[in-house]
Each structure stands twice: as C-alpha cells, then as structure tokens.
Structure 1
Amino acid sequence: MASSAAFPIIRLAIPYTSPPSRLRTLSLYFPRPLEESDPANTVWVIYIHGGAWRDPLQTAQCIEPTLAHFTNRVPSLNKIAAIASINYRLSPYPTHPTDPSSKDDEERNAKHPDHVRDVKEALAWLRREYGVGQSNRGGKGFKWIGVGHSCGATLLLQLIAGVGLPPKDEGSTTTALAHPSALILLAGIYNIPLLLENHQQPSSSPEFAAIYKDIIQGAFGKEKSAWEDASPSYHPPVFLHSMGLTSVMLAHSPYDELVEKEQDEAMLRSLKSSGWTAVEENYSQSQRGLVECRNLSGSHDFVWEEGSQVAELISEVIPRVIMQ
C-alpha cells in the first residue's frame, strides 16, 4: 500500500531501536498531520501482527487491509490521530517453504521474552517521539487502543502482565510502558498448554501435532512451566489493576481452523474470576474492567486479510475510549 486517500501520510519500516535492527521496526499511518489532531478528541491505534511468533510473511503491513476500510465517509476516521503497526524479532522457522530461517540470523532466532520486549521497546519509542500513552492532563499525550491478531493478541496481554519483562528499577530503556485504554484481541492465544492439548493426537494428525509442538517449543522452549508462565490467562489480577486499561474485547470466528474458541473461553473465565465484568452483566460505560466477546466470520487469517471486521471493531471502540 504505497498511498491511501484516508491515510495520506505514511512512514514505513522505521527503526525503534538503536542501533537499528532489520525486524525491530514499525510503520505509521496518519490521516492528517499529527499537529492537527487534538489528544483530547483523537486516539492512536497500535496493531501487533500474528504469525505464530515465527512466520516471516506476516509483518506490520498486515494492518493495511484494515486501513482500506477507513475512508473519509467513516466517522471514526476523524477520531484517529494515527495508526502504528509493529514488527518484532521472530522465532526459528527453518522449514518455512519460501523463506526459511537461518541459525546465523539473530533476527529470526528469538525466544520468549524477546518478542514482548521488542513490542515494549516500540511502545517506549512511540511515547518518546509522539507522546503516545502519556498523561492526558493539560491536553498532552494520546490515549491508545491495542489491536492484536493471534500471537499479536498474546503479546499485548503479556506486555500488560509484565511477562518476561525486567523490573522497573533495572533502568532499562523499555520500562516506560504506556498502557492502552482498550484492547481488541483477535483469535488470540491465552493458554499455551491448552493450545497444545487441543492439537495432540488423536484429535490432530501427527503432522499437525508436530507443527504446533515446533511452534511452541521454538518460541518458549520445552518446559511446561515456561508455557504456563507465558500464558496471559495465568495472570488475570494484573489486568484489572493495569493503569488506564478499562475494557478488553475478545473476538473469534467459529470458522477459525487454527485457534479454538476455548482460548477466548479460558481468558474470559480467568478475567471474570479476578473481578472483571462481562458486558452482558450490568454493563456501564463508566465502569472499569469490562470484557466482551464477539463473533467474527471467516478463517483464522481471513480476519486480517479482508480487514473489514477489524475496522468495524476499531470504529466501535474509539468513541468509548475518547469518552473515558
């Protein structure tokens, strides 16, 4: 997508680390010059792509089909200050059919928590450069909405839970985390042991079971305790008390062939057990800690490849965040 009528200002593959890194980049899409966007009435949308922590064909550009559904006729476009889409280092994928990873490529041999630390580094860069997530007092700083697909949804929740991140007192440049006001989580993975359990023999073929095992071990190692610690559903109390986060949307398609609805159900149970309120239960716009579930249509990758459903969810959530 070289240009867009709705997002005429585009900056691609911007490094967010120093020194620069091939995969630690982000892309920015502006509907207007940023100085024309009022932080009190506009928000940033930050997208994290999926791809099982390892697929080189899923990148920051996965947001572009969604952007195509924002036009000057869509009212929510006036409430968007910018959209950022983040790349991060990938786990090994030596069997990829067209772009296999090499053992010598540090960018494609990442292990947890490298992925989530990269996302945090990108958010710290956005905060320094554009004021994303800073206090909105005095008209300064922008609120933001996090949107993640598949493992991108996992990364957003791992980020908020602090899974694999250094303590704040270590002096890391990545510690200034700007928490989102809302999350839109698309076909996310929230309970890693459950994902593997659902894809073991005999319910899955030997080939399919081996693929899931390779994905998880490549990203998280071989220890079940590490899979549990990296699973957002194992850290529910953190989310209720996260500064600024007031609502979470869990969205999933019944036609998803890669990630089961049980992942959303596990996360919903975990959140409700720690005090979150499901939308159908005494919904109040001013209430903190709201979680809602939505049904999508289409296959796992269709959701982002087609983009209209993602755009609709973003458009729905934006007014809520601005009213907070």
Structure 2
Amino acid sequence: MVYKDLFPVMETVLASGVTLLGGLQYHRVDGYRPLTLDLYSPSKKGQPHPRQLPLLIYIHGGGWRRGDSHRCGVFTDFPRLLGDIASRGYVVAAVNYRLSSEAKWPAQIDDIRTAVSFLLNQADVFGIDPQRVYAWGVSAGAQLAASLGNPAESVSSQDQHCPVTASVHGVAAWYGVFDFTTFGDQALQLGIEIPDDAPEWRLIGAESGQDRTARIRSASPAFHTTSRTSPMLILAGKKDRKVPYLQSMQMKDALDRVGVPNFIYIYEEVGHSFICEDEPAETNRVNLSAINKTIDFFDALAF
C-alpha cells in the first residue's frame, strides 16, 4: 500500500510567531511516495534567522506502520507544541519516513538520515547550526532516534543516496524498542503478550535466515553503542503493555558500558504513550513532565 500524506504543503505563521513550512519534500525514492517534513522556524516568514540555531529532529511513532509528522501520543494539537519549542530558539523538523508496509528495515533509518542531510546541506538557508543537531523520537521513532544517535556506519544502508555521515549530538527517546533480540523474552518476563504479527516483526520482515538475523541486530541500537554514541535521555512507563520498560533499562546499561552520558526516568503509573488508564489527570501530568524533561535536556546541550 502507498500512503498519501493529506497534510497540505503550506507556509504559515503560528500564534507563537513561528513560521511553519509544512509538507516540504526532502527526498523521493523511486517507486515510493515523496518523503516530506514539516519545518518550524522562529525566523520571520521568508527570511533566514540572523544567527544559526540548533536543529531538533522529531521522529513520530506508530509502530513503524502508521503515524505522521504532526501527531504524537495524546497531544491534541502537536504542531502547536512543536511551534512552541521552536519559539525557544530551535529550528524543529518533524520528519515522515517510509512505513513497514512500504519498505522493511533499514529503509526507515535511511530516510531519517537523508532528511538530516537535506537540512544540513541547506543549513544557511534554514538558519541551522550543524554542530547542534538533536533528535527526539517516540515509540517507533525512539528506535530511529537512538539509531541516529549511534555512529552512522553501524547501520548498513539499502539506499545508495543515503548519507552515511548524518548523525546527531543528543537524543531523547520515549518508550522505545532498543534490542529486538531481547524484546520477546522481556515481554514474557513481564507477562506481556506479543502477537506473531507485532509491529516489531513487520518492520524486520517474516523471512528467516542470516539476512533476517543481521537485520534484527542492525535495527537494535543497543547493539551499536560506542564511546561516540550521542548523550541520551530515556523515558518510559513501567506499565507499558506494548513495549517492555526493560528495553529502556537495557539501553541505559548499553550506554553506561561505553561511558556515554545518559539520563533515565521510568514513570511508575503509566503505560505506552504515558497513558494512565485509571486516572486521566496522571496522563496529563506525566506527558507534561516528559515534555519538560525533554526540553530541559536539549536546552542543556544546545545553549
């Protein structure tokens, strides 16, 4: 199935004064839909910012099989939130990528790296500081953001046009999968039922053999941490029934082993998307806390 992004190509000024360029095409792979991103900039419409600003890449979730650049979990007006972040002095790029029904791994990380390269190649146009580039991913996007935070050569590319040098200087990862080889055992340990057609396996592909084993390892950022991996903020909900919170603990352990600065917070009463089924107020509180921790993390790195 080929997905059509119905978010219109547009340029508008948000209430925060941030300029939004929505649906900007950054790449087209032959046989696939155009790949787009939404760019939020605190500069005036049609004018570059007078100084270079840090770039924050947002990578959406949706189990690698759905989702888009202008949605995130329980947030009802996510573009406004991204605009508010941009108003703090960031260029924010929310990126779309090929979904698992369109292409298997590593197409997704190829797309994200291509988007980063597209933006950095036009850093002067967009007012971006290439030395301050960060990634924030949620759920499936957390796996992609963490992969982007590893040295680029650790993940092989299927796209000859994919820039292998695209990387970032800090990552925030919300409730992500970081090791596909331990995902099933951790779910079993916590009493979480994972179906045979789970999103994680749709991403990798159903065929067996050496190629699939290599792809599983390639898609697992916890396998590829080195001393050059980006500093990371890791957030998860202990009651998550989609992604075991133990994945986040394992990612922290992998970072600790190679001496990479990291910060982890496990919220006790919420599940995936930081949702508390019993108390909506807790859902709101935790999501607000997570946003504030994420902004504080990037501010400390960028400014």
Which residue in the other structure is 2:261 paired with? 290
Distance 1:319 1:197 in 2: 36
TM-score (ref. length: structure 2):
0.75
Residue 246 of structure 2 corresponds to which residue in structure 1?
262
Mapped to 1, the partners of 2:13 and 2:290 lie a distance apart of: 20
Q: Is the 8 A contact 1:161 1:232 kept in 2?
A: no
For 2:265, the aligned partner's letter is R
- Pairing 1:224-303 to 2, within 5 Å after superposition: 224-237=213-226, 240-242=227-229, 245=230, 247-274=231-258, 276=259, 289-296=260-267, 298-302=270-274
User: Which runs of no fewer than 5 residues in structure 1 stay unpaired?
Assistant: 93-107, 277-288
* Structure-1 residue corresponding to 2:195: 209
In the TM superposition, 1:143-154 aligns within 5 A as: 143-154=132-143
Q: 1:142 to 1:88 in 2, by over 3 A?
A: same
Instruction: Describe the superposition over 1:16-58 as per-residue Cα deviations: whole angstroms up to 9, x where unpaired.
Output: 115785351111112333633522xx32211011111112xx1
Instruction: Identify which of structures 1 and 2 has the higher relative contact order when contacts are C-alpha pairs closer than 8 Å and 6+ apart.
Output: 1
Which residue of 1 is the match for residue 280 of structure 2?
none
Taking structure 1 as the reference length, the TM-score comes to 0.71
Helix, strand or coil at the partner of 1:181? coil
Number of the residue aligned with 1:165: 156
Matched-pair contact (CA < 8 Å) for 1:149–1:185: yes
Residue 90 of structure 2 aligns with an amino acid whose one-letter code is: A
The answer as to whether partners of 2:255 and 2:261 remain within 8 angstroms in 1 is no
Distance 1:78 1:9 in 2: 9
Question: CA–CA distance in 1 between the matches of 2:100 and 2:169?
Answer: 29
Pairwise CA distance, 1:143: 1.3
Identical-residue share of aligned pairs (%): 19
Deviation (angstroms), 1:88: 0.5
Taking only aligned residues, the RMSD between alpha carbons, in angstroms, comes to 3.4
Matched, 1:48 2:80: no
Alpha-carbon spacing, 1:309–1:211, altered in 2? closer, same or farther (3 Å): farther
Distance 1:227 1:233, change over 3 A: same
Among 38, 52, 62, the residue aligned to 1:27: 38
Q: Distance in 2 between matches of 1:36 and 1:252?
A: 35
Q: How many residues align?
A: 270
**In structure 2, what is the Cα distance between the partners aligned to 1:115 and 1:77?**
25
The answer as to 2:100 corresponding to 1:91 is yes
The alpha carbon displacement at 1:192 in A equals 0.7
